[in-house]
Structure 1
Amino acid sequence: MLKETFHIAVPTAFFDDESLNVQGTIEYINHLYKQGIKSVLVSGSTGEQHSLNLREKIELVKSLEVECDLMNNMEIIFGVSSIRQKEAEELAMAISNTKISGILLGYSPYVLPTQEEALVYTKTIINYSNKPTILYNNPKRTGFDLSVTSIAELSSIDLVVGLKEAGDKAKIRLLKKEINRNNFHYYAGGELELEEKVLQGFDRLSSIAGNISPLEIRNYFQKLLVKETISEQERANIEVIFQQVNQGSPIVNLKKVLNQNGFKMGVCRKPIGNV
């Protein structure tokens, strides 16, 4: 099972010609590990999931697998999603034979499956990966909204350990009435409205801003969870970080800051970064 309450959704490094920079990505994850971060999400968030083709995703999986320190000491979650189920199945099979800790299972963009089709898709991918699975519902990006009924049904699968909900945060209160599992968790996707989300019942964080200041964001979230007082100075510092990330395109902002700090994260894949 996935034990960490906080993970950082890391950007993917690219060269100037937009080709995949595996080593740059691995080096950045190693940096977070040395900072004391215990969990990362790779190829799952920051909007880059669907710019990677199947070959590139499997290359990332294989490169992570040979990083013994990371694989043995970090909780590494890998994003699995594709507009074609067949490709998601191939990626899930590749992950099943590794020490990757779990998957974030996203839904196909644009094609708008029915709830029934999405349930079959989900169960199939889980069976192929045989890994602890976080469901990822992001209707703004995909056009598809996994229903409360569907999530409740999927929660009966032991390998389904939680939901990353980027749609209606009020859905969490409904789900808590339907799902009677203490080990089913609710992941906030990024830091927008984070305090309100914690009050709604979100108990884990898939962090974007943690790329800028990993320990500060982690400590801030942990204080929210236990309702510890946050000083005015802490709030001011956190707000500066949030503004760095969210004014404009978050992934563009992240890569700009990380590149300035000496990490070889490179460019974004156009049209992202055109301005």
Structure 2
Amino acid sequence: MLQETVHIAVPTGFFKDESLNIQGTIEHIRYLYNQGVKSVLVCGSTGEQHSLTLKEKMEILSHLVWEEELINRMEVIFGISSIRQLEAEELAKRICNTKVAGLLLGYPPYILPTQAEAMVYTKRIINLSQKPIILYNNPKRTGFDLSLESVVQLSKINSVVGIKEAGNKERVGLLKKHIKRNNFHFYAGGEVELEEKVLQGFNRLSSIAGNIFPIECKEWFSKMLTNQEITEQEQKKMKTIIEQVYQGSPLVNVKETINKRGISLGICRSPLGNV
């Protein structure tokens, strides 16, 4: 099972020619580890996953596996999603025999599979990977919306441990009425509207701003979950952080800040970063 309440969705590093910069990516993960971060999501929800080829994803995975201290001491979650199911299956098979802690399983953009087709896709990856799975339902980005019935059915599989973004935040309450497991979790994707999402029932965080402010974001979220008082000063600080990260393109903003700190994550793949 995945134990950590917060994981950081880390960007993928690219050189100026948009080729993969794996060492920059690893260096940033190591920086987060040294800051006390216990869990990261790699090749996942920072909007870059579908720009990566299967070969590039395999390269990232291989380098992570070689980083023994990180893979042994952190809860590393790996993102899987592909327009081609066969490529997602290849990645799942490779992940199966590694120390990767779990998977974020997203759905193919644009092609709009039926619910039945999506269920086959999901179960195939679950069976091949043999890892804890977080479902990632984000119709705003993919055009596909995993139905309430599909989520409930998949939640009956023990290795499915949660869902990131339920399609819309109001669905979390409905899902909680149908899913009786205490160990099924609801992950918020990022810090925007996070307080409202917690009130709706979200209880875990896939953090973007945590790439730059890992301690502040975790403490803020922890206080929300435990109903601790958040001071006016803390509220102002988090408002400033959210504005810094989410005004414009979050991925561009995060990379620019990380680069300025001396870790080379380079650019985003165009059209991100065009402006």
Say whether the fold is shared (TM-score over 0.5).
Answer: yes
Q: Deviations over 1:184-235 (max 9, x none)?
A: 0000001111001001000000001101100010000000000100001111
CA RMSD of aligned residues (A): 0.6
TM-score normalized with structure 1 length:
0.99
- Tell me how far 1:145 sits from its aligned partner: 0.4
Q: Which residue of 2 aligns with 1:247?
A: 247
**Mapped pair 1:116 → 2:116:** yes
What residue is the counterpart of 1:49 in the other structure?
A: 49
Q: 1:253, 1:30 → 2: CA distance?
A: 20
Residue type at the aligned position of 2:242: F
Residue 162 of structure 1 corresponds to 162
Query: Contact 1:255 / 1:266 at 8 angstroms: preserved in 2?
Result: yes
Provide the residue aligned with 1:132 in structure 2. 132
Q: CA deviation at 1:90?
A: 0.4
CA distance in 2, matches of 1:270, 1:166: 28
Q: Does 1:29 align with 2:41?
A: no
What 5-or-longer segments of structure 2 have no aligned partner? none
Which deviations, in whole Å up to 9, do the C-alpha atoms of 1:154-181 show, x marking residues without a partner? 0011100000016310000000011010
Structure-2 separation of matches of 1:186 and 1:21: 32
Q: C-alpha separation between the residues in 2 aligned to 1:137 and 1:198?
A: 18
| 8 Å Cα contact 2:166-2:172 kept in structure 1 | no
Partner of 2:268: 268
Tell me the residue number matched to 1:80.
80
Q: In the TM superposition, what whole-angstrom CA distance separates every residue of 1:16-68 from its partner, at most 9, and x where no partner exists? A: 11000011100110110011000000000110010110000000111000111
Q: Distance in 2 between matches of 1:128 and 1:245?
A: 36
Q: CA deviation at 1:108?
A: 0.3
- Amino acid in the other structure paired with 1:157: I
AA matched with 2:26: I
Q: In the alignment, what sits opposite 2:193?
A: 193
- Secondary structure, counterpart of 2:60 in structure 1: helix
Q: Secondary structure at the match of 2:206?
A: strand
Aligned residue identity for 1:14:
F
2:68 equivalent in structure 1: 68
Aligned residues: 275
Cα contact 1:42–1:77 (8 A) shared by 2: yes
**Does the aligned pair in 2 maintain the 1:186–1:203 contact within 8 Å?**
yes
User: Structure 1 vs Structure 2: percent identity of aligned residues?
Assistant: 65
**What letter corresponds to residue 241 of structure 2 in structure 1?**
I
Q: Does 1:257 align with 2:248?
A: no
Question: C-alpha separation between the residues in 2 aligned to 1:183 and 1:83?
Answer: 30
The yes-or-no answer on 1:205 pairing with 2:205 is yes
* Whole-angstrom CA distance in 2 between matches of 1:60 and 1:250: 22
Task: State the distance in 2 between where 1:148 and 1:166 align.
Answer: 9
Q: Does 1:107 align with 2:121?
A: no
Tell me which residue corresponds to 1:218. 218
Whichever residue aligns with residue 76 of structure 1, its letter is V
Please identify, of 166-175 and 45-54, the stretch whose mean Cα deviation from structure 2 is larger: 166-175
Q: Name the CA distance, whole Å, in 1 between partners of 2:193 and 2:35.
A: 26
Stretches of structure 1 lacking an aligned partner (at least 5 in a row) = none
Could you tell me whether the CA contact under 8 Å between 2:146 and 2:167 is conserved in 1?
A: no
Contact 1:20 1:56 in 2 (8 A): yes
Q: d(CA) in 2 for partners of 1:51 and 1:122?
A: 21
Tell me the residue number matched to 1:91: 91
Contact kept in structure 2, 1:139 and 1:166, CA below 8 Å: no
Contact kept? 1:166, 1:189, Cα under 8 Å: no
- Cα distance change on mapping 1:166 and 1:49 into 2, 3 Å: farther
Pair 1:184 & 2:192 matched: no
Q: Helix, strand or coil: the match of 1:125? A: helix
Distance apart, 1:132 and its partner CA: 0.2
